[in-house]
Structure 1
Amino acid sequence: MSTFSGLNAATTALWANRRGLDVTGQNIANVNTEGYSRQRVDLQAIGGSAVPAFFSTGSGIGQGVNADDVMRIRDVFLEGRGHTEHANLTQLVAETDSYELIEQAFREPGNTGIQKMLSEVWSGWQDVANNPDDSAARGQVLKRMETLAGGLHFSQQQLGGQWAQTRENLAVLVDDVNAAAENIATLNVAIQRATQSGLPANDLADQRDVLAMQLADQVGASVRHGKDGVLDVSVGGMSLVSGGSATKFEVAGTIDPDQTAGDPLRVVTAVGDFNVRVGGTAGGQLNALNAIVPSYRGQLDTIASSLATAMNTAHGEGYDLTGATGGALFGTADGSPITAANITVMITDPDRIAASGVAGAGNLDRANADRIAQLAHTAGIDEGYRKMIVELGVQSAVSQRNFDIQSSITTTVDAARESVAGVNLDEELTNMLSYQQAYAAAGRMVTAIDEALDVLINRTGLVGR
């Protein structure tokens, strides 16, 4: 190596190690930046010419070091695993939250739940059986039935409100998905142009990966890396982002929680109306909208209808204080089928309570009131309600357990991703000292070459003849 070529090698060393210090400083500055991937300078030796030429010689040692490329440390496999596990976790979060809200709507166990109201109704009828001539006993059983009807109304309204809120949240989420997809498409174009021009695009790629993880959380998106740094995104096999273009999604389906069987909620493409098989939060919300909440609304309607049928039938077999056959205890204001949302107590006059099992005006027989009180054990209304609540508790517990397991899995995967892409300050300090010493050594080499050239040029030669 000639003296001047050595000076060139030392210059490239200064440049490479200064670039290494710059990259290390960037890593340290972004140690707490969400989505930032640590970077490393790709040092490559510049070799000497391998092609011989006339009147030229070379030592074969090389021409220094090249530090033009800065690598972004990222494990593609772990990123894909992270997308999958995050999608599973957020879906379970949405489903678990739905079960918790349903439990709140029923308020069981407690003094304000429907089970307590049912018990008070049966107790009220037993009081009528014990004191058929007491107008207060007759009046209180009417009030307790009204309270029970109000409890059914409240629980059904709570479930309906939960359904409507979840549907609105799904629509907002889909809008966010469309915005994120547009941003990824824009970043794809910028990254592709930078890559083709030989410019760094690591920070843009970090921004894009944050958006990709957001889409995985929201709709269970998966990614595929393409040419020139382009990232394609798909959801359930349906393309969401392809290069610089993005597909828009929208929510379709009924706005009535009782019509989900005929027109279920779904996510579709804005153009073509193709169904999209979503996961993540959207998948959990769709499961709540189409299965979980409607199921309990239907069961509550069945309980209300069974209650009305059993009590109306039993009441019709007795006689009130006027001697008339007992009329319907429960019905609806407009004559429509009885549901938990519209069940109404139809009798307002305590004298119309058909407590007697024997016809005749003023008869104080209590046989029919006692028969109605025994419906607590024979009609299966309480048993059906308790079965529904037990089923709810089991499903909620299973969902919570699955959520806990998935949380542990996701945490493990995130830790593995962070160990690869995250910034370790101890490692960066080691790198900083390494680049610092190498920079000082290259500077010392420049000084040594400068001194050698000074001796060669200014202090050698023949003394006068």
Structure 2
Amino acid sequence: MSTFSGLNAATTALWAQRRALDVTGQNIANVNTDGYSRQRADLQAIGGSPVPAFYSTSPGIGAGVTADSVIRIRDAFLEGRGHTETANSAKLTVENDAYELVEQAFREPGDTGIQSLLSDMWSGWEDVANNPKDSAARGQVLQRLETLVGGLHFSHASLGAQWDQSRENLQVLVDDVNAAAASVAELNESIQLARQSGLPANDLADKRDVLAMKLAEQIGGTVRPGDDGVVDVVVGGMTLVAGRTATTFALAGTTDPDATAGDPVRIVTAAGGYTVQAGGTAAGQLSALNTILPSYRAALNSVAVDLATGLNAAHAAGYDLDGIAGTNLLVSSGGPLTAASISVGFTDPRKIAASSVVPVPGDPALDNGNADAIAQLRQSATGTDANYRRMIVELGVQSAVAQRNLDIQAVITTQVDAARESVAGVNLDEEMTNMLSFQHAYSAAGRLVTAIDETLDVLINRTGLVGR
């Protein structure tokens, strides 16, 4: 072994410790960079030659250290957990928001809610029963019916607007997913080429991981590692990104919120139209579009039908001021009767059938029996009020359950994110300790160079035979 080999070992030490210091500086510089994974210089000893030679042998000491590889500190298991829990949290968040918007559409409890409007309408019939001759009492019950019908229209329209907005948001999300998938495929190609060329690709991998987490949140994508640093992204068992190739998704299904039973909104592959079992935000929006919003629109339509059926039947049993049997109070403005099409059948107060007594010639029907009977419909256990209250109670329970599930999931997601951050995140205290360690190692390597230099100086300049 050459005496000068010690200088080579010291040189490799200087280079390796300087590279480790550079990596530490990079970590400190990116302590607040979103998606950055801390890096470490992988120090490896350069061993002595294990192959014997005719005229030289190795003492087995080695030839120094190498730091050619810089690795990212990531935990694959925690990353997978992070994708799953982030997707679950996004789904529950969207569902919880959907229930909150449904509650806003019904405005309960409140003075403008349908329950309050129903109460005002029944009170109007009590006023008519108390004074059937008063045209003002008859007119105000029609006005309160108009107000109630307007409340039904507003709630139905609010649910419809929410459905339309959710579908538009889902379309935007699908387009964003396609763009992110294409970016992941491009990064896969760049990372693969870099790995094959022996170039660093840690920053590219960080960008790809950010996109992968975004896909997990948006559509429930999970990552499957491959060769040369390439990853595949899978959604519900269907491959979204395979190496350098990205699949394109599309949105299919009805644009009518009342037709989701026959043609539900769904995410499909652009080629072939295969349905994708999405997760994350997309799953929450699909649940709102196909289940939550249509069910409450149907329930509101049922309330409108029950109200019209009950009022019309009771009104037909009485007689108006002209002795004519009561006509329909509530009718459809076109098509089947729903909360959107319901309307008041007439505007003339004289047509209010308040009397339950058949009039005699020359004597108007001024009895209040039928008005009182209509007013008592509010007490029916199977009437509109009772059915509406049951629906609102069910909405409250479902909303509370959605909020509770979201709170539980938020704790789980926070814990998983904290665990991921503890592994991949930059800790300034740890980096400071590493920096001091590498600094002292660099100083020691420099002192080794000085020691070897002094040794060689003695060997060359201060030893030898004294001239005779």
Deviation at 1:444, TM superposition (A): 0.8
For residues 136-164 of structure 1, the C-alpha deviation after alignment (integer angstroms, 9 at most, x for no partner) is 00000000000000000000000000000
In the TM superposition, what is the alpha-carbon distance from 1:277 to its structure 2 partner? 0.1
Q: TM-score, normalized by length of structure 1?
A: 0.99
Match of 1:127 in 2: 127
State the Cα deviation string for residues 290-310 of structure 1 (Å, max 9, x = none). Answer: 000000000000000110011
CA contact (8 A) 1:40 1:70 kept: yes
Which residue matches 1:398?
Answer: 401
Q: What residue is the counterpart of 2:355 in the other structure?
A: 356
Q: Which residue of 2 aligns with 1:104?
A: 104
Matched, 1:374 2:373: no
Deviation at 1:415, TM superposition (A): 0.7
1:111 is paired with a residue of what secondary structure?
coil
Matched residue SS, 1:3: coil
Q: Distance in 1 between matches of 2:266 and 2:344?
A: 38
Q: Is the 8 A contact 1:48 1:58 kept in 2?
A: yes
**CA distance in structure 2 between the aligned counterparts of 1:196 and 1:222, rounded to whole angstroms:** 25
Partner of 1:140: 140
Provide the secondary structure at the position in 2 that maps to 1:276: coil
Residue 454 of structure 1, CA deviation: 1.9
Q: How does 1:426-445 map to 2 (within 5 A)?
A: 426-445=429-448
The one-letter code matched in structure 2 to 1:105 is: A
1:6 and 2:9 aligned: no
Corresponding residue number in structure 1 for 2:228: 228
Instruction: Note the C-alpha offset of 1:119.
Output: 0.5
Whether contact under 8 Å (1:324, 1:359) holds in the other structure is: no
The residue that corresponds to 2:173 in the other structure is: 173
* Match in the other structure for 1:19: 19
Cα distance, 1:459 vs structure 2: 2.6
Check conservation: 1:218, 1:281, Cα contact below 8 A.
yes
8 Å CA contact retained: 2:194, 2:200: yes
Q: Does the 8 Å CA contact 2:160/2:257 hold for their aligned counterparts? A: yes
Residue type of the alignment partner of 1:434: S
Q: Which amino acid in the other structure matches residue 177 of structure 1?
A: V
Letter in 2 for 1:320: D
Q: Structure 2 counterpart of 1:4, which letter? A: F
SS of 2:304's partner is: helix
- From 439, 452, 457, the counterpart of 2:455: 452
Give the 3-state SS of the residue equivalent to 2:405 in structure 1: helix
Aligned to 1:297: 297
Letter in 2 for 1:375: L
Aligned-pair CA distance for 1:122: 0.6
Q: Name the amino acid aligned to 2:336.
A: P
Give SS of 2:258's match. helix
What one-letter code is carried by the residue in structure 1 that aligns with 2:19?
R
Task: Give the 3-state SS of the residue equivalent to 1:40 in structure 2.
Answer: strand
Question: Aligned-pair distance for 1:457?
Answer: 2.1
C-alpha contact 1:329 1:345 (8 A) present in aligned 2:
yes
Q: Which consecutive unaligned segments of at least 5 residues does structure 1 have?
A: none
- Residue 232 of structure 1, CA deviation: 0.3
Distance 1:390 1:55 in 2: 94
Distance 1:462 1:377 in 2: 126
Q: Which residue of 1 aligns with 2:67?
A: 67
Deviation at 1:320, TM superposition (A): 0.4
1:346 aligned partner:
345
**Aligned-pair CA distance for 1:199:** 1.1
Deviates more, 1:158-167 or 1:372-381: 372-381
2:123 & 2:346 partners in 1: Cα distance?
Answer: 18
Q: For 1:216-255, what aligned pairs fall within 5 Å after superposition?
A: 216-255=216-255
1:406-450 CA distances to partner (integer Å, 9 max, x unpaired)?
A: 000000001111111111111100000000000001011111111
CA contact (8 A) 1:319 1:325 kept: yes
With 450-459 and 108-117 compared, the bigger mean Cα shift is at 450-459
What is the CA deviation profile of residues 355-408 of structure 1, one whole-angstrom value per residue up to 9, with x for unaligned ones? 011122522101110111111112511000000000000000000000000000
Deviations 1:80-116 (A, max 9, x none): 0110000100000000000000000001011110000
Letter in 1 for 2:364: G
Distance in 1, matches of 2:99 and 2:332, equals 29
**Deviation (angstroms), 1:196:** 1.1
Contact 1:320 1:351 in 2 (8 A): yes
The answer to whether the 8 A contact 1:20-1:40 is kept is yes
Aligned residues with identical type, % of pairs: 71
Letter in 1 for 2:184: I
Displacement, 1:70?
Answer: 0.6
Preserved CA contact (<8 Å) 2:319 2:357: yes
Residue 45 (structure 2) aligns with: 45
Distance in 2 (CA, whole Å) between partners of 1:442 and 1:128 is: 103
TM-score (ref. length: structure 2) = 0.98
| Residue identity opposite 1:352 in structure 2 | K
2:57 and 2:463 map into 1 onto residues whose CA distance is 25
Partners of 1:374 and 1:457 lie apart in 2 by 120
Q: Does 1:264 align with 2:264?
A: yes
- Kindly report which structure 2 residues correspond to 1:267-282, keeping only aligned pairs within 5 A, or say none: 267-282=267-282
Alpha-carbon RMSD: 0.9
Q: What is the DSSP-based 3-state SS (H/G/I as helix, E as strand, rest coil) of the residue aligned with 1:275?
A: coil
2:323: which partner in 1? Answer: 323
Other-structure match for 2:78: 78
Following the alignment from structure 2 to structure 1, what is the Cα–Cα distance between the partners of residues 434 and 182? 38
Deviation readout 1:191-223 (Å, 9 max, x if unpaired): 011111111111111110110000000011111
CA distance in 2, matches of 1:322, 1:435: 104
1:333 is displaced (CA, Å) by 2.3
- 1:113 maps to 113
Query: Is 248-257 or 451-460 further displaced after alignment?
Result: 451-460
Question: 1:337-357: CA deviations, max 9, x gaps?
Answer: 210011000110000100011
Q: 1:56 offset after TM fit, Å?
A: 1.1
Residue in 2 aligned with 1:464?
Answer: 467
Q: In 2, Cα distance between the equivalents of 1:9 and 1:363?
A: 116
How far, CA to CA, are the matches of 1:302 and 1:332 in structure 2?
14
State how far apart, in whole Å, the 2-side matches of 1:414 and 1:337 are.
Answer: 52
Ranges in structure 2 where 5+ consecutive residues have no aligned partner: none
